[in-house]
Amino acid sequence: MPVIAAFAVPHPPLIIPEVGHGRERGIQATIDAYAEVGRRIAALEPDVIVISSPHTAMYADYLHIAPGAGARGTFARFGAPQTGCSVDYDEQLVAEICRRADAADIPAGTLGERDRELDWGVLVPLHFIEAGYREHAENGHANTDATPRLRKLPNLPCPIVRLGISGLSPIVHYRLGQIIRDAADALGRRMVYVASGDLSHKLAEDGPYGFAPEGPAFDALTCDAFASGDFLKLLTCDPSLAERAAECGLRSFYIMAGALDRTPVHAELLSHEGPFGVGYGIAAFTPTGDAASDESRAFGEQYIAHHEHELKTLRAQESPWVALARFSLERFILEGRSTDPARDLPAALAERLPRELFSTRSGAFVSLKKYGQLRGCIGTILPTRATLAEEICANAISAGCHDPRFDAVSSDELGELVYDVDVLSTPERVPGPEALDPARYGVIVSTPDGRRGLLLPDLDGVDTVEEQLRIAAQKGRIDLAHDEVTFERFTVTRHL
């Protein structure tokens, strides 16, 4: 059995005594559960520990695996430069994972390393794992080499594999987990998987990130999945819920779930707390049968079926505004032709469109999402076309092909795109931030020299006026502290 145990763990640096200076006592349940994780891993004496962290190199379209013979890291950025860890990497396992990922057309590998040092998403779990090994050795169960290669930094007695997450879909992360499991099996490795990731960062008004009702909801969903071992609940978590909860561990958990694909497990939620406004959950998953033997736990296939049904339902329910935007972009990408909505629409679509689309003029934004992540958004503040229908058609093409933040949408992406169409009211000038509300109003920040930044209302993760203004100003290259600025607000009618 390649995976002998898997654990989901958080990574708050303050849990380390040299960083927390006593504050760590506020999460004692997490400390106790973490110590138990360390003891269990040491007792298992795995051949390799695979750790995924959201703070390792992250790319939108690539899953990074740390290359080389090993690495070190400390908590220097948190004021504890003498506390950290030095590890060896399992280069043979990394090479096998990369080979299998390439064969399966999974975009994963060792390219693009930006920081060789271990990140805190890895250092925190290693701190407790190393302590578990020390305790194990002191109890006479193993003869570990306690001689550090780096002064004052401990060494683990087994190598690790360190990898990050990406902006890719849940199923791609899950499949990477399957590949890791199969690679370990091919090499005869007994592997422990550690999925590092915090839960919601929005559990308390007085916390560092504030409160959102989605925060407790996300933690409840995740803890239920941990306690039951039902990873489908994680894979099908609403991306909007996760975004508004400001979580950082979900995609790490996806990979872990893939490593346990079809494997019967004993699931345990060892602890959950959030006294500092951030959710810390620790869970253990112990295989109770042969790997890949339990078809009821084929969560990857179950997710694909759920996702296809969800997309089919969305298409059946989408508004005429969205159907028009979709038709325009798909026609442009597949046929290279722009759409004149007065003459180019198929009869079934033309009959659905309200007459107001052809009798009114308005600014409009078209937004595209893929797997819950923004894929493009372009619009016009004021009307630039003869009708609103023309405005939507033109802006759909711009969102898909001319948003400078993204490559143009390809034909094989069209089936995964989810559209929003926002029709704007005429902007009105307001005296200042006190007249704004990010849930109700969009904002335009302008300077006398013509710089301008706009942000739509009711966006995932934008909960305060300060955050809304910061993002809008950044888009317009505006310094709110020093530039002379004016504020405008507008409302939108959102069509899904």
Do 22 and 91 lie in one domain? The reply is yes
Question: Which residue range forms the structural domain that includes residue 52?
Answer: 3-298
Q: Are residues 274 and 366 in the same domain?
A: no
The number of beta carbons lying within 10 Å of the beta carbon of residue 230 is 15
Domain co-membership, 8 together with 145: yes
Assess contact for 194 and 38: CB atoms under 8 A: no
User: Does residue 46 share a domain with residue 190?
Assistant: yes
Residue 463 has what pLDDT? 85
Is 150 inside any structural domain? yes
Q: Is residue 139 domain-shared with residue 278, that is, in the same domain?
A: yes
Structural contact between residues 69 and 161, judged by C-beta atoms closer than 8 angstroms:
no
Residue pair 194/125 in contact by the 8 Å Cβ criterion: yes
Provide CB contacts within 8 A for 222, sequence distance 6+. 199, 234, 237, 247, 249, 250, 253, 279, 281
Domain limit, last residue, from 298, 326, 358? 298
Cα 361 from Cα 384, distance rounded (Å): 8
| 311 in a structural domain | no
- Residue 150: its pLDDT value, please? 33
**Residue that finishes a domain, picked among 364, 399, 424:** 424
Of the candidates 251, 268, 298, which is a domain's last residue?
Answer: 298
Rounded-to-integer distance, Cα 82 and Cα 84, Å: 6
Would residue 313 count as lying in a domain?
no
Same domain, 203 and 69: yes
Per-residue pLDDT of the chain (496 residues; tens, 9 = 90+): 899 999 999 999 999 999 999 999 999 999 999 999 999 999 999 999 999 999 999 999 999 999 999 999 999 999 999 999 899 999 999 999 999 999 999 999 999 999 999 999 999 999 999 999 999 888 876 544 443 333 334 468 899 999 999 999 999 999 999 999 999 999 999 999 999 999 999 999 999 999 999 999 999 999 999 999 999 999 999 999 999 999 999 999 999 999 999 999 999 999 999 999 999 999 999 999 887 789 999 999 999 999 999 999 999 999 999 999 999 999 999 999 999 999 999 999 999 999 999 999 999 999 999 998 899 999 999 999 999 999 999 999 999 999 999 999 999 999 999 999 999 999 999 999 999 999 999 999 999 999 999 999 999 888 899 999 999 999 999 999 999 999 999 999 999 9
Q: Please indicate, yes or no, whether residues 185 and 238 belong to a single structural domain of this protein.
A: yes
| SS (HEC) of 286-312 | EECCCCCCCHHHCHHHHHHHHHHHHHH
Checking 209-213 for CB contacts under 8 A at 24+ apart, the result is 209/246, 209/277, 209/278, 210/277, 210/463, 210/464, 211/277, 212/244, 212/245, 212/246, 212/463
Residue 100 is inside which H or E element, if any? Answer: helix 91-103
What CATH number has the domain bearing residue 331? 3.30.700.20
CA end-to-end span of the chain: 46
Q: Measured between alpha carbons, how far is 139 from 364 in angstroms, rounded to an integer?
A: 68
Spatial separation of the C-alpha atoms in residues 444 and 446, rounded to whole Å: 6
- Total structural domains in the chain? 3
Are 178 and 202 contained in the same domain? yes
Q: Is residue 309 part of a domain?
A: no
* Structural domain includes residue 440: yes
121 and 68, same domain (yes or no): yes
CATH classification at residue 484 = 3.30.1490.150
Q: What are the DSSP calls for 324-347, one per residue?
A: HHHHHHHHHHHH-----TTTSS-H
Residue 183 within any structural domain of the chain? yes
Q: Quick check: 410 and 401 in contact, CB under 8 A?
A: no
Contacts for 21 with CB less than 8 Å, ≥ 6 apart: none
Please check whether residue 333 is in contact with residue 401, taking contact to mean a CB–CB distance below 8 angstroms: yes
Asked whether residue 267 falls in the same domain as residue 335, the answer is no
In a shared domain, residues 276 and 369 = no
* Residue 155 pLDDT: 64
**Predicted local distance difference test score (pLDDT) of residue 156:** 81
CATH number of 228's domain: 3.40.830.10
Residue 307 lies in a domain: no
Q: Are residues 449 and 414 in the same domain?
A: no
> Whole-model pTM?
0.90
